[in-house]
Amino acid sequence: MKNRTMARQDDEDTKPNDAAAAVEPRRSRPQRVAEAIKDFVVAEGLHKGDRLPGEAELMARFGMAKGTIREAMRILEAQGLVKTRTGPGGGSFVHEVSAERARALLGNYFYFRDLTLHDIYQLRRLLEPELAASLAGKLDAGQLAQLSAVVATYDHPAADAEEEREQHVASLRFHQLLSEFAENELLGFLIGFMARILSDLTVYRKLYEPPNIELWSRGRAFQIELIEALGAGDADRARLVMADHMATAESLMEGQESRVLNRFISQ
């Protein structure tokens, strides 16, 4: 069935007639069609791997020219929502954006913005204690073993800057792993994203140099205590341990950043 509403919107030069329209920039025709196709996918209950209608059917459904439909499909493919295959059995199929790709795309948004450690830890201090409390008593032996295995990879102080860098990244992997266990997918995604951003920031700002034994020892001790609280099902203790962990990490990381900056200025 032809989407008369979509066609009518394209025939008219819509003018802003309220505050929202005045602020929101007018989307291009392919962008509007892309949004309509997404609505169609939801309305039809399509899932990853399901085939989308062919080009001719989409043209008829939305009352659009071939070029507009193709551009709309390119937009959806760039967003990771559509996968196109050529050859026998080919066509356009519903695709699912992975959490890793979503974090990478969101990371690109913040790439040229001057994020500070305080910006990141302001959120970590709010969210991570709640994640820890929500997981207390809900992780099985295998999941607790995975957390312990991560901590075991930095069971000794770093001997040099390279090992310090590896230990920083591994310690943040601990938090990414916790985020993957979250029952609240949005909470888990945000925490995993912040761990990724902090890991990248640590590397490109060289916050791992020189090695910081206090940061290693206190961070590792908090993580071991947290695993014990999670295994014991003690939500209050898990929340408190994570809150102390985040506050201590922020203070020590900011001190590390100051030392790196002072070393750079003195050179």
The predicted structure's pLDDT at residue 267: 52
Alpha-carbon distances of 71 from 3, 28, 42, 264, rounded to whole Å = 18, 10, 20, 48
Hey, what are 87's tokens? 């050859």
Query: Which runs of consecutive H residues, i.e. helices, occur in the chain?
Result: 4-11, 19-23, 29-43, 55-62, 66-78, 99-110, 117-135, 141-152, 161-180, 185-204, 213-232, 235-266
At 79 the three-state DSSP class reads coil
From 230, 245, 23, select the one nearest 137 (Cα to Cα).
230
Q: In a structure prediction context, what are the per-residue pLDDT tens digits for the chain, which is 267 residues long?
A: 445 445 444 444 444 455 444 455 677 888 999 999 999 988 888 888 889 999 999 999 999 999 999 999 998 888 888 888 887 878 898 888 777 777 777 777 777 777 888 999 999 999 999 999 999 999 999 999 999 999 999 999 999 889 999 999 999 999 999 999 999 999 999 999 999 888 888 887 788 777 889 999 999 999 999 999 999 999 999 999 999 999 999 999 888 877 666 655 555
**CB of 93 within 8 A of CB of 85?**
yes
- Please state the pTM of the whole predicted model: 0.69
How many other C-beta atoms lie within 10 A of the C-beta of residue 231?
Answer: 18
Hey, what are 243's tokens? 């809150």
Residues 6 or more apart from 96 whose CB is under 8 A from it?
Answer: 48, 80
At 33 the three-state DSSP class reads helix
